[in-house]
Amino acid sequence: MSKNIKLCKGLDIKLAGKAEKVVESAPMAKSYAVSPLDYENVTPKLLVKVGDQVEVGTALFFDKNNPRILFTSPVSGVVSAINRGEKRKLLNVAVEPDQKQQMKELKVVNPATAERSEIVEMLLASGLWTRIVERPFGVIANPDAQPKAIFVSAFDSAPLAPDYNFVLASEKAEVEAGMQLLARLTDGKVHLSARKGDEGFMAEVKGVEYHTFSGKHPVGNVGVQIHHIDRIAKGDIVWTVNIQDVAIMGRLVLSGKLDMSKTVAVAGSEAKKPAYKRIISGAAVESIVGKVEAGVRIISGDVLTGTTTAADGYIAAGANMLTLIPEGDKYELLGWAMPRFHRFSVSRAYFSWLCPKKEYKLDTNLNGGERPFVVTGLYEKYLPMDVYVSYLLKACLVKDLDKMENLGLYEVLPEDLALCEFVDPSKIEMQQILRDGINLMIKES
């Protein structure tokens, strides 16, 4: 067993509305959707039209950049809507479920004995391939690539994040099967990282390189873990998979059926009853949280990296939680000069350092105007990586590809800079700047 990796940098933002550890089954939603916008750099090409009958695992669209990558329906039923935005951009394909939940016949192979190519084909056909993320760049993995290693984080350290030990408590066999499947995809190692002292059954999972981490968020970010286990150098390709998706892959192998159900946390100060819900991927938000009043922001994912979701929208494919927090579209008289006991700041210019245990109810107010880079040395305290954040971001802003590469663009994804963005008094949109930089790099290379 390898030794524990302890990270000193980071921050745990304590928010009100932690999900209680009970799982309820959400009712069948009126519709389920698959959206190309949940993925980076996908150019969708439709395979169905409104009114088509689909089964669980029927491909709805594919990626024009790589036609082998299919996006499949999580439920069986009828394609009820194909929603488009400006310039006919595909927003999502909605499926109205039926009662039968018919599964599409899939050729399920035994990962222990099958060829690697057969396993790849199985994952591609089921649509589960889309759940494999490739680094650098954080895009859907290229099925033709040979990753140096595969990394799985067994815990999420983001504010209010679901506890995967709880979520996956009854799915040890599935996680193990999923891990064995991943092991066949790489000639290198499969790394599994758990939180020290809260390891659940993760330490017992066989066939993986097991690590433990301790520290504050972003210690659970797989990018940070990669940095401390086996850094990405230029030319390296590594894959990462969310632990709950590993379990879904394992389920496919063990039962031979594609079952897209998962447990998500419903959390945040505006959640009426913060708890866990058993849902099927892509469910309408309303079926999970019910009616939500105006003035509440629904976030697919955590408060730092999630995407804003409309009350009549759908939970994002990769999201394992819904966070509900108040919108902050209010003025605050002389707020910058006030003590502001109810707000949180890492700076001792405010007073939240006096009550480190307090759980805050934070809203979406930007708390200031956007300014140029002024403070220094702050961002590096919240990114446990050997990366100079402001230099990298400035390289992205001036579109200097060589600098971006040299300063560590291959090692970070926007989620890793989320905390820096949170603490930044200049309110710079760091995640967006980095994403634009990464997309530019993809385009140019």
List the interface residues with another protein, window 170-199 (CB under 8 A). none
User: Which residue(s) pair with 324 in the sheet?
Assistant: 298
407 binds another protein per the rule CB under 8 A: yes
Instruction: Pick the piece of the chain touching another protein (CB under 8 A) from 195-203, 208-216, 255-263, 342-350.
Output: 342-350
* Peptide bond just before 218 cis, omega within 30 deg: yes
Q: Which two tokens stand for residue 100?
A: 């039968």
Radius of gyration of the chain (CA): 21
- Residues from 3 through 62 that contact another protein (CB under 8 A): 13, 15
Among residues 41, 391, 440, 442, the one that binds another protein under rule CB under 8 A: 391
- Residues from 194 through 223 that contact another protein (CB under 8 A): none
Strands (E) across 180-314 are located at 190-195, 209-214, 238-241, 261-267, 275-280, 296-300, 307-309
**SS3 state of residue 435:** helix
Nearer to another protein, 97 or 384 (CB): 384
Among residues 369, 443, 444, 445, the one that binds another protein under rule CB under 8 A: 369
Among residues 356, 366, 443, 444, the one that binds another protein under rule CB under 8 A: 366
Residue 178 beta carbon to another protein: minimum distance, rounded to whole angstroms:
28
- Residues from 229 through 268 that contact another protein (CB under 8 A): 231, 233-236
- Residues from 305 through 334 that contact another protein (CB under 8 A): 305-306, 308, 323, 325, 327-334
Residue 183 beta carbon to another protein: minimum distance, rounded to whole angstroms:
21
Q: Which two tokens stand for residue 346?
A: 């890492």
418 binds another protein per the rule CB under 8 A: yes
Q: Which two tokens stand for residue 300?
A: 């697919």
Residue 392 beta carbon to another protein: minimum distance, rounded to whole angstroms:
10
CA distance 197 to 205: 16
- Residues from 424 through 443 that contact another protein (CB under 8 A): 424-427, 429-432
Nearer to another protein, 358 or 427 (CB): 427
How buried is residue 390: exposed, middle or buried, by Cβ count under 10 Å (0-12/13-18/19+)? buried
Nearer to another protein, 22 or 398 (CB): 398
375 binds another protein per the rule CB under 8 A: yes
Residue 387 beta carbon to another protein: minimum distance, rounded to whole angstroms:
8
296 binds another protein per the rule CB under 8 A: no
364 binds another protein per the rule CB under 8 A: yes
423 binds another protein per the rule CB under 8 A: yes
CA distance 309 to 75: 21
- Contact by Cβ (8 Å): 414, 397: no
Residue 328 beta carbon to another protein: minimum distance, rounded to whole angstroms:
5
Residue 198 beta carbon to another protein: minimum distance, rounded to whole angstroms:
24
Tracing tokens 């939970």 back to the chain, one arrives at 315
Residue 213 beta carbon to another protein: minimum distance, rounded to whole angstroms:
21
Residue 245 beta carbon to another protein: minimum distance, rounded to whole angstroms:
23
Cβ atoms within 10 Å of 68's Cβ, excluding its own = 14
Instruction: Pick the piece of the chain touching another protein (CB under 8 A) from 75-83, 276-284, 309-317, 344-352.
Output: 344-352
Which residues, including other chains, have CB under 8 Å from residue 314's CB and lie 6 or more apart? 31, 32, 33, 35, 92, 94, 282, 283, 284, 285
CA distance 259 to 56: 8
- Contact by Cβ (8 Å): 60, 54: yes
Which residues, including other chains, have CB under 8 Å from residue 431's CB and lie 6 or more apart? 305, 414, 415, 417, 418, 421
What is the 3-state secondary structure of 378-396?
A: CHHHHCCCCCCHHHHHHHH
Nearer to another protein, 13 or 315 (CB): 13
Among residues 181, 304, 316, 438, the one that binds another protein under rule CB under 8 A: 304
